[in-house]
Amino acid sequence: MRPIVTTTTDALPLPPLAERQEAAKGGDRAAHDRFLNAWPAMHAVELWPAPLSLPLPRALTVAAWNIERCKRVEDSADLLRAIGADVVLATEMDYGMARSGQRHTTRDLAAELGFGYVYGVEFTELGTGDAYETGLFADTPNDAGLHGNAILSRYPLSRPCLIPVTEDGTWFDSSLKGDGQYRVGARMAIAAQVETAGGPLTLAAVHYESESDAQGRADQTAVMLAGLAAQYGDGPCVIGGDLNTAALAGQPRGLVLNAPQRVEPSFDLFAGAGFDWRTANTGAPTTRAAPGRPVRYPLKTLDWLFVRGVMAEGAAVQDAVSDTGHYLSDHELITARITPNP
């Protein structure tokens, strides 16, 4: 497993196109590691400060959202603004990908909201995406080819880090979905702290491997929790993201919310580390059918918020649709109001 990344920069260096094209020819795990080690973007996190110095918050509205490449930045910002998000734990954020208009989606979304951010790279994409995206953009090279996770915040973020949660290279020497997606890198969590009226609050946005099973997700949880503990201790913390908890599909909603550990052992690990999910989630499905693609039922509950040392209330699932009806993501946005324990 790659070590935790704590180096920060205000602009990630982009992997050169010629080297990305060379990597796209394939190879073994040693070839993967050669490219990964050569690209500084894989070994730093991009940190931009919040533009305003605001009073320390007593309470925060935290949103967790897999924004599916963030292809509609302005509409996504409008939705986040409408629900009053103070912090966004964002996954699947593109940077310099043809499918999302070559935009640095995290930077552009933060600018729309007036937030700061930390952004880390999960994968350098060697193609233009899944089979559907490749059909649209196969002839358009990516400017940067970066894809990752981010924390966007109205308040200043400090002590950021990137925590790899799976071994590097499994998407390089095979296309795990069989759809032609080849990548350099691995699944990861991005974390940072925000100073609140109740003291420092650790935040983490994570995206678990879509092709893992329930035990694999438990293994990723163990790695992430160990990394968070090593960096920040066991104080107040909010974790949010796409855990790909596929074993919950078709389960009764009561089990999904109150006893998910029966089929997803990762929840036992969260509980053992002092985290609760029952007050921060609804148990409702969090996936959305993409227009023009086959609908897969049942819809799944894949996205979660976990809290420790704080109170959560008002958990909600928000439709990932703009106020003009545009589809924004194949995942809904989840939110909760977070306040310090009395």
In the predicted model, is pLDDT for residue 19 greater than 90?
Answer: yes
Model pTM score: 0.98
In the predicted model, is pLDDT for residue 202 greater than 80?
Answer: yes
| 164/168 Cα distance (integer angstroms) | 8
- Upstream peptide bond of 298 is cis (omega within 30 degrees of 0): yes
| 247-286 residue pLDDT tens | 999 999 999 999 999 999 999 999 999 999 999 999 999 9
Instruction: Say how many C-beta atoms besides its own lie within 10 A of residue 14's C-beta.
Output: 18
Pair of tokens at residue 87: 């912090």
In the predicted model, is pLDDT for residue 295 greater than 80?
Answer: no
Instruction: State the average pLDDT over residues 46-74.
Output: 94
CATH dotted code for 8-340 = 3.60.10.10
CB 203 within 8 A of CB 224: no
| 338/207 Cα distance (integer angstroms) | 21
Every domain of the chain and the residues it spans: 8-340
Closest to 3 (Cα-Cα) out of 223, 243, 241: 223
Cα–Cα distances in angstroms (integers) from residue 119 to residues 63, 129, 230, 269, 284, in the given order = 16, 20, 20, 26, 28
Residues 6+ apart with CB under 8 A from 174: none
Q: Please list the helix, strand and coil fractions of the chain in percent, rounded to the nearest 5, in that order.
A: 25, 30, 45
